[in-house]
Amino acid sequence: MPRTYHSINLNEPQQKFIRLMDDFEIDIFSISQVEKLVRKKIPHLNEIVENLVSKNFLSRIERGKYCRFNFRDEAVIGCFIAKEGVVSYWTALNKHGLTEQFPNTIFIQTATPKDEKNIFGVKYQFIHIAKSKRTGIANAGYGNHSYRITDVEKTIVDCFDLPQYSGGYAELIRAFSEAKLDSGKMIAYCEAVHNIAATKRMGYLSELLNKKGMKSFIRFAQEKVNPAYNLFDTQGNEEGEFVNEWRLRLNISKEEILGICNKVY
């Protein structure tokens, strides 16, 4: 049964628009999307929506984009305002249950540059990547609440590619240890991202932790090893043991890595 909105503050066109949102189960929208959905032009739609914003029935997200007054799904909003946006990095780690830490920033990966924004008190950071790196995308949610998110393997690869967006290296190592990873996907995503140093780090970790089902990935990573030495933790000090096989310098020791993963050395 349709809802009835009795309010001296809403005129008939405004009430009709709210009922339309109920009928089509719309919580977040742009003006053009609404008219495309109902397949007709709605007279004075901009004015109707802006009046509903002023009366706290709707909230403005950014120019031309709106949501119901109490709608605050951060993943949906982040993907909605970024062209082809994808929940990624630390935010995706949290969504996949690979970290208990909840980021203060929502990380959205996009192939189109976009400045960071603060919406309803939440900071959104948009990470611009090359289109060739745009892979490993899954869909989550449903209907008007759907959003895109990197799958587990792509999330891990992305975080090693740009660890400054991962919530800290120790947290990333722990997530890698706990994640169930598909070797084939890891290879494909490493090929797409094309970060040899990151591939070496993940190959070394897979071998050290004896990750189940990762033998083909370890072989792949070994084939990518180049002569240059890289720090294991990109943001750490120039110190630690050299591992010749992987051309890595362990500025986080084996014992520390295994301790982070709750494994015995």
The pTM is what?
0.91
Q: What is the pLDDT of residues 58-72, one digit of tens each?
A: 999 999 999 999 999
Give the strand pairing for 65-68 and 86-87: unpaired
How high does pLDDT run on average in the chain?
93
- The rounded percent of the chain whose pLDDT value lies above 90 is 83
Decide if pLDDT at 8 tops 80. Answer: no
pLDDT of residue 225: 97
Structure tokens at 55: 């009366």
What band does 101 get if pLDDT is binned at 50, 70 and 90? confident
Cα angle for residues 112, 194, 198 (degrees, 5° grid):
110
Decide if pLDDT at 5 tops 70. Answer: no
Decide if pLDDT at 76 tops 50. Answer: yes
Which stretches does DSSP call E strand in the chain?
28-30, 58-62, 65-68, 86-87, 105-110, 117-119, 122-128, 137-140, 147-150, 230-231, 241-243, 248-250
Q: What is the arithmetic mean of pLDDT over 177-199?
A: 97
What are the structural domain ranges in the chain?
A: 12-68, 74-260
State the CB neighbour count (10 A cutoff) for residue 231.
Answer: 18
CATH of domain 12-68: 1.10.10
pLDDT of residue 4: 47
Helix (H) or strand (E) holding 255: helix 254-260
d(CA 203, CA 153): 13
Q: What is the pLDDT of residues 20-54, one digit of tens each?
A: 999 989 999 998 888 888 888 888 999 999 999 99
- Residue 69 Cα distances to 14, 24, 60, 73, 76, angstroms: 15, 17, 9, 12, 15
What band does 1 get if pLDDT is binned at 50, 70 and 90? very low
pLDDT of residue 7: 54
